[in-house]
Amino acid sequence: MNTSASEILGIQNLSKAYNKTDSRALNEVSLTVNCGEFISVIGPSGAGKSTLLRCINRMVDATEGEIVFSGQNITKVKGKTLRMVRTNIGMIFQNYNLVNRLSVLENVLHGRLGHKSTISGALGFYSEAEKEKAFDILEKLGLSKFAYKRCDELSGGQKQRVGIARALMQNPKLILCDEPIASLDPSSSKVIMDYLLEINMSMGITCIVNLHQVDFAVQYADRIIGINDGTIIYDGPSKKINDDHLADIYKSHQEDFAAQMTGTVDTGKMAAHLEMAANG
């Protein structure tokens, strides 16, 4: 699979079946992602959104297909090579995946573990430069005053910002966000999405964000990928997605769609809502 100079990720005919009796979670998915893009992946629950991200960073192995990241076929890499690939791919999770008993600073420094030996990581040996970088990132995310606070004392929005800071400590080329605002209220969700967009624009880091909230996807993303039943239904500019596209993406899942819209927006107001977002 050939990649262009501006392409950071290329996926060709990617399929994933968790066992022989189940239908495919992903079914021959193909897409390319260029450096610096901000992409939202939308679709009903169980559509394959999380599986797609987990295949990209090799948390799960694809059944078929090819993944090329930064010019390297990573579909079958293992061991040290896989570890090095993952240092360039930050991951942000819905449930934060923090060590709650540790401080904010310690959790952020964990973003450097992929760059260290097993012994150095286990003993928590971090250089002064790494600690300074961690504080700089915390400052940018409005978390410096919480540096020595235990993570179990933080709000959900604050925990997610710690997760973002930890990902940035990796110096990633790509950040994958798996439902980063699904557990947050609308106000906290906006804060997180604002930070992700700022990181994308100011640092040039490519972001792929799985979202339940269609209105946030339309507002923040350059491009939307809509998935249903493991298949890409829509792949195009966020400002051009319309009711027909959404009906295809959420076919047989209209209740799911209504529940995923932020606030009280319902499907009857979808057209006006999307027109307003498109005119921005």
What pLDDT shows up at residue 158? 97
Q: Is 2 left (phi over 0), alpha (psi -120 to 50) or beta?
A: beta
- pTM of the model as a whole: 0.87
Residue range 142-163, pLDDT digits in tens? 999 999 999 999 999 999 999 9
pLDDT over threshold 70, residue 136: yes
In order of their start, the domains of the chain are 1-79+211-280 (3.40.50.300)
Residue range 207-227, pLDDT digits in tens? 999 998 899 999 999 999 999
What would the two tokens of residue 1 be?
A: 């699979």
What would the two tokens of residue 185 be?
A: 């209220």
Angle at 13 between CA 254 and CA 37, to 5 degrees: 70
What pLDDT shows up at residue 34? 96
What pLDDT shows up at residue 123? 61
What pLDDT shows up at residue 176? 97
pLDDT over threshold 80, residue 61: yes
